[in-house]
Structure 1
Amino acid sequence: MTTSSRSWIKPAAAAAVVLALAGVGYASFYSTTPAPDVTFISIKGDKISTDSLRGKVVMVNFWATSCTTCVKEMPHMVETYEKYKAQGMEFVAVAMQYDPPNYVLNFTETRKLPFTVAIDSAGDIARQFGDVTLTPTTFLIDKNGKIIKRYVGEPDFPALHKLIEKELAS
C-alpha cells in the first residue's frame, strides 16, 4: 500500500473513537441502575420489599435525627409525599444504623410522618444502596424499579417535583 492509499486510516480511526465515546456517554447518561432488592422493616414491624413497590414511583430517603439538613428537609419530604401519594408514589424514610431507635420513633411520632419509616439497624440497606454514608441521601426509583436520580443533600424540590410528575405520567 502506498502512503496515499492509507491516508483514510487515521481519520477513520479517530471517527470510530469519537463514536464509541459518544455511545458510552449516551449510555451512561440515559441508563438506569436497578434498585437493590431489599426488604425494609418499618418501625411498626411491617416488611416492605423493593420488589413489592414495582409499578409505583418510590422515594427512599436515608436520614438521621442528628442530621440538621435531614430535620430541615423533612417537612418538604412530607409535603412531597402528600402531594403525590394519591397518584401512586411511595416513600420510605430509612434511619441510619447509628440513629438510636427511640429517637427515630420519637421524631416520627412528634412530626407525624405519614410515610413508612424504617430503621437500618445493621447498615445492610445503606450498603446495598451503594454504601450510603452521607445524610440526607435520597433515591428516586421509577415504576420499573430503576434508580433514576440520587440526591446527596437536600434536593431542589421544584425540580424533584417535575421529575416525579414526569415519572408518574409515564
Structure 2
Amino acid sequence: MKKGIFAAIAVALVAVLAYVTLFNQPQAPAIQYTNLSGKTASTDSLKGKVVLVNFWATSCSGCMAEMPKLRATHEKYAPQGYETVAVAMSYDPPNYVQTYVKDTALPFFVTLDSSGSIAKAFGEIQLTPTSILIDKRGNIIKRYVGEPDFNELHQLIEKNLKA
C-alpha cells in the first residue's frame, strides 16, 4: 500500500515537472527596434521563426571571435525560418558598429541599443557576448553568456525549426 502511494506521488511529481519544463517557458519581451538602415522590427513580428538575439560590442574580443560563427549559423538556417538579431550595446560607439557591419556585410538584422532598453528588457544584460534563443511561439529556450557551444545551438535550432 505504501509503495503504491509513493509511486503515485513520484509519478505526479514527474508530471508536474514535465509540465513546468515544457509549458512554462518565459516569453521574450515584446519590444521594437530599428536596424542601421532604419527598418523597424519587433519580437512580435518574428513569431513563427526561431530567433537568436545576440548582445555584442565591437570592443568585446569574444564577440568579434563568435561573429563569423553567428554569420555561418544564420546563413545555414535562415532559409528554414531562422533569424538573427544582433544588438550592439549602449556603450558601443555607433560609428564603430556601422563600420564593422559595413566592412563585414553582416547578413542579419543589427540594431543599436543606444538607450539600453533592449538589454534591460531581456533581463539587464551587461555581459557580452550574451545570446538568447527564442522559439517560434516567442518563448525563451536558452540563454548563453559567453560564446555558445555551436554544436548544441545548432541542435536546438534544428529541433525548434521542426516543431
Query: Any gaps of 5 or more consecutive residues in structure 1?
Result: 1-7
Matching residue within 102, 126, 145 for 1:152 = 145
Written as runs of structure 1 = structure 2, the 5 A alignment for 1:62-141 is 62-141=55-134
Task: Give the distance between the partners of 2:143 and 2:20, measured in 1 at CA.
Answer: 14
Q: TM-score, normalised by structure 2?
A: 0.89
Query: Any gaps of 5 or more consecutive residues in structure 2?
Result: none
Percent of residue pairs identical: 54
Q: Which runs of 4+ in 1 moved over 6 A?
A: 18-21
Query: 2:109 corresponds to which letter in structure 1?
Result: T
Say if 1:64 and 1:20 are closer, same or farther in 2 by CA, change over 3 A. farther
Query: 1:132 corresponds to which letter in structure 2?
Result: I
Say if 1:72 and 1:125 are closer, same or farther in 2 by CA, change over 3 A. same
Query: 1:108 corresponds to which letter in structure 2?
Result: V
SS at structure 1 position matched to 2:148: coil
Task: Give the distance between the partners of 2:157 and 2:63, measured in 1 at CA.
Answer: 20
Matching residue within 22, 33, 37 for 2:26 = 33
Task: Give the distance between the partners of 1:24 and 1:131, measured in 2 at CA.
Answer: 30
Q: Which moved more, 1:26-35 or 1:65-74?
A: 26-35
SS at structure 1 position matched to 2:53: strand
- Structure 2 partner of 1:57: 50
SS at structure 2 position matched to 1:90: strand
Query: 1:151 corresponds to which letter in structure 2?
Result: Y
Q: Report the RMSD for the aligned CA atoms in angstroms.
A: 2.1
Task: Give the distance between the partners of 1:68 and 1:22, measured in 2 at CA.
Answer: 43
Q: What does the per-residue CA deviation read over 1:39-98, in whole Å, with 9 as the maximum and x for residues that have no partner?
A: 111011111011111111111000000000000000000000000000011110000000
Query: Which protein has the larger Cα radius of gyration, Structure 1 or Structure 2?
Result: 1
- Structure 2 partner of 1:167: 160
Task: Give the distance between the partners of 1:41 and 1:65, measured in 2 at CA.
Answer: 18
